Amino acid sequence: MRLTVCRKEHFNAAHRLHNPHLSDEENQKIFGKCNNFYYHGHNYELVVKVTGEIDPVTGYVIDLKLLSDIIKEEVIDKFDHKNLNLDTEEFKNLNPTAENIAVVIWNKIRKHLKPEHELKIILYETERNFVEYPA
């Protein structure tokens, strides 16, 4: 049976939910206060889960220090203390909902993992709102 190892990290960022193809009224109706013109922000908590076999030499599925370094390079260094809409290439043309952020992070980390490893992302926008990708 395979095993899943998990690493939790966090970053603090500003964002605004907005679809430029919709009118201001539609954006306000769909996104409410999350559409605030001058942005708002969150302490994002990120859990990265990697599933695979235990290496009999190390007793590890993957070295969590290595996984933490990958997360730091791909996510924390790029998103922490940033405005997701204005400071990042990833969300210049993509609405930074928790759903879209999770998919972006999955793609950024996936390329660093071995093919036999599975990857899952959990992203907490607040303690009460969070997403899991893939389901």
Catalytic residue annotation: 34, 81, 125
- Whose structure tokens read 């908590």? 45
- Judge if the upstream peptide bond of residue 96 is cis by omega within 30 degrees of 0: no
The residue among 21, 11, 26, 25 whose CA lies nearest residue 84 is 11
- How far apart are CB 120 and a second copy at their closest, in Å? 10
Cβ-contact 84, 125 below 8 angstroms: no
- Work out whether 7 is an interface residue with a second copy (CB under 8 A): yes
- The amino acid that residue 48 corresponds to is V
Give the DSSP H/E element, type plus range, for residue 9: strand 3-15
Q: Counting Cβ atoms within 10 Å, is residue 38 exposed (0-12), middle (13-18) or buried (19+)?
A: exposed
Among 14, 28, 90, 112, binds a second copy (CB under 8 A): 14
Q: Taking CB under 8 A as the rule, does residue 94 contact a second copy?
A: yes
Site for a second copy in 27-86 (CB under 8 A): 30-34, 36, 38-43, 49, 51, 54, 57-61, 63-65, 80-83, 86
Which of 60, 112 has the CB closer to a second copy? 60
Q: Which residues of this protein are in contact with a second copy, per CB under 8 A?
A: 1-10, 12-15, 17, 19, 21-22, 30-34, 36, 38-43, 49, 51, 54, 57-61, 63-65, 80-83, 86-87, 94-100, 102-103, 118, 126-135
